[in-house]
Chain A
Amino acid sequence: MSVLVVAEQLQGRVRDVTYELVSAARELGGPVAVAAIGADPASLDVAHEGVDEVVHVRVEQEEFENDVYQAALESLVAARSPDVVLLGFTVNSMGYAGAVAAKLDLGFASDVFAVARDGDSLVATRSFYGAKVHGEVEFPPGRPVLLLLRPTVWAPATAGGSPTVTDHAIAPVVSRARHKEFHEAAKGDVDISTADFLLSIGRGIGERENIAMFEELAEKLGATLAVSRPIVDAGWMTNARQVGQSGKTVKPKVYLAFGISGAVQHLAGMKTSETIIAVNTDPEAAIFDVAHYGAVADLFDVAEELAKLV
């Protein structure tokens, strides 16, 4: 099953999701080609383990513009007829993937977190109804399938492949939506609902006096401190930092939970976090049901070790 991965880059750096796409592509068999689109495609580090071919698409624009990527991908699909095209389910991909699918009448699904081959056809798994159910979807036969894969699901392919390199030329693209500049998003007050990295503590920390240690740890790690309801109930923190049904719903990239057992009210507020790491002494704690990584360990010991490392 031939797979074309479109590399995602920002300011000349290839984003991790690209390597995850390579791993997913490998699972489908391959051969795996990675399209590097940019003003200087050769500078993009995409030759990772499992990549058979790197396709350089030279364009005028330094940064992502959706008309450019659309034109490049349409041209690549026309020229190479891959069985599958993989993109990350990212802000950039959302700018053009749907358009390419509509224009070329491709099989198409987004936010896919599992793919499998079923003979010659492809089955993708995604969530429906607010992630209450999962659904397996299949695609119209005889045409390429374009999938946007959920980031962080696949382990990134490691560096060190030795693919062949080809060039694919496209005509200059007149962009109707033009990149002007980048700037950092404004950082407001503590808002746990927009933080990328939450260090969240619960009843397991035991004593009010222990909060300080986690505050320090959060600062060292560059995380925002969040709490579960018992901490607010105990009056140790205000509810501005409370995660859960009666607090705030959060969806950070990383949710690192210390001593949180995972009451339903809490899980409702954080279970869609991209990566959940839970440290708890109780192996039965419900938080392990939603966590991606779990450690059954003394949370103070782990916290101390963490503080040493950063």
Chain B
Amino acid sequence: MDPDYLDTALNEWDACATEEAIQIRERLGEGEVVVVTVGDEDSEAALRRCLAMGADRAIRVDGTPVDPVSTARALAGVVAAESPDLVLAGVQSSDSVQGSTGVALAELVDLPRVAVVTKVDWSGSGPATVDRELEGGLVDVVEVDTPALLTIQTGINQPRYANLRAIKQAEQVEIAVVPAETGEPGYRVWRMFTPPRGEGAELLNGSTAQVAQRIVEIVRERLA
């Protein structure tokens, strides 16, 4: 994987998590939003975008773990040290779609947690009431003790933009860098390959009536 072909940017789940944190701070009228990521220097661009949006402080854990459990371990030290009242994470990253780092982190710092949160109602102390949207459109309303970790789903808010001045100011902010402790990874990638073209299109044969019948079956099955 040639890094020249990779662009790094704040992914949409993390943008929503940052926005939600800033909104909570604004609602409560007090507090501090600290953003933390694990990665190399390139990942500071994402932190600076969060700072430009309005986060107060940023920490980079210097390391490049790949799997969610190692990533969670790398973050755990900072979270434990900061001991925040609420930890927000994106549900998943847009490139790897692991969907597990936040919850693994919660375990490592022993926090209650709810995943895939679409609404947060919290007064700043005591339990928070949050929504989880399940597959099929049913919403599960959950009461969670705090401090807690919530993984935030896109659509929960519209992340604010950062104007050029804020972006420029964020460029000047010093980002704290701490070393990563990752332990052994949960998996190792031993081979990567480009997806084969046209994999898997199963042809529906037979009369149009049979084709239609199969389509109805597939649709019913997938929507059930």
- Provide the B175-215 mask, 1 if CB < 8 A to any CB of A, else 0: 00000000011111111111101101111100011011111
Are B100 and A128 touching (Cβ within 8 A)?
no
- How many pairs of residues, A versus B, come closer than 8 Å at their CB atoms? 253
* Chain B residues, CB < 8 A from A156: 221
Q: Which residues of A contact B97 (CB under 8 A)?
A: 110-111, 127
Q: Which of A67, A187, A253, A294 contacts B204 (CB 8 A)?
A: A294
Any chain B CB within 8 A of the CB of A197? yes
Give the docked Cα–Cα distance between A179 and B222 (Å). Answer: 26
Residues of A within 8 A of B115 (CB): 66, 91, 94-95
B10 interfacial contact with A, CB 8 Å? no
| Chain B proximity of A113: nearest CB distance (Å) | 10
Contact of A138 among B72, B155, B190 (CB under 8 A): B190
B169 interfacial by beta-carbon distance below 8 Å = no
Contact call A63/B140, Cβ cutoff below 8 A = yes
B104 at interface (Cβ–Cβ under 8 A)? yes
* Shortest Cβ distance from residue B127 to the other chain A in the assembled complex, whole angstroms: 8
Whether the Cβ atoms of A185 and B208 lie closer than 8 Å is: no
A135 in contact with B91 (CB, 8 Å): no
Residues of chain A within 8 A (CB-CB) of B195 are: 127, 131, 133-134
Across the two chains, which residue of chain A brings its CB closest to B134? Answer: A91
Least Cβ distance of A176 to chain B in Å?
3
Is A274 on the interface with B (CB-CB < 8 A)? yes
The stretch that binds B, out of A32-40, A44-52, A100-108, A157-165, is: A100-108
> Which residues of B are found within 8 Å of A224, using beta-carbon distances?
none
Partner of B135, one of A91, A105, A134, A137: A91
If A91-B115, A137-B189 are given as contacts, then 20 extra A-B residue pairs at C-beta distance below 8 Å, sorted by A number, are A92-B134, A97-B100, A101-B104, A106-B186, A108-B100, A109-B186, A128-B189, A129-B95, A129-B96, A137-B67, A137-B188, A137-B190, A177-B144, A183-B139, A253-B223, A293-B218, A294-B202, A302-B211, A309-B216, A310-B216
Could you name 28 residue pairs across A and B whose Cβ atoms are closer than 8 Å? A15-B135, A66-B113, A91-B116, A94-B100, A94-B115, A95-B132, A102-B69, A110-B97, A111-B99, A123-B190, A133-B192, A134-B193, A137-B188, A139-B186, A156-B221, A177-B114, A178-B144, A179-B141, A179-B142, A180-B143, A196-B137, A256-B215, A288-B198, A289-B197, A292-B201, A293-B214, A294-B204, A306-B216
